[in-house]
Amino acid sequence: MPLHLEHGLALLLRSFNINNRLCDGSAWHVPERRPPSPAAMVKTFQAYLPPQCHRTYSCIHCRAHLANHDELISKSFQGSQGRAYLFNSVVNVGCGPAEERVLLTGLHAVADIYCECCKTTLGWKYEHAFESSQKYKEGKFIIELAHMIKENGWD
């Protein structure tokens, strides 16, 4: 009998003051239920950009939506695997721990970002810029072209 049914049956029998004895007189045991770990309780939901977002960028590996074209700030960035785009906001993206890296434009605190659906590393998020001329990048996202495709309404 599945654990949840055994547990439910035990609660029902106890509510009627029936002891936990089988027909042959032997006792049956209900294992102790433990709550699931917090990691097991986490459920992620995939976001879909609305249909009015005519031009979108998606993960090349699993086709999860990543960004609306209206959130694109610049196409003039370089990633570790070639050209990359800077976005104001993204969806379906997870963020790793921040670390300091020396990039082409100086020292930055960045965190790798990955597709929440297929876990592919896509680029990074600028957490902090140490040079005043680079402050505009803080909180923005780099996605490398090698990991995204254009979808919906591109000519």
> In the chain, which segments carry CATH 2.170.150.20?
56-151
Sole residue written with tokens 């997870």 = 94
The whole-model pTM stands at: 0.69
Q: What is the CATH number of domain 56-151?
A: 2.170.150.20
In whole angstroms, what is the distance from residue 9 CA to residue 26 CA?
17
Q: Which helix (H) or strand (E) holds 38?
A: helix 38-41
The confidence score (pLDDT) of residue 2 equals 54
What are 1-49's pLDDT values in tens digits?
555 555 555 554 554 444 444 444 555 554 555 666 665 555 567 777 7
Residue 59 banded pLDDT, cuts 50, 70, 90: very high
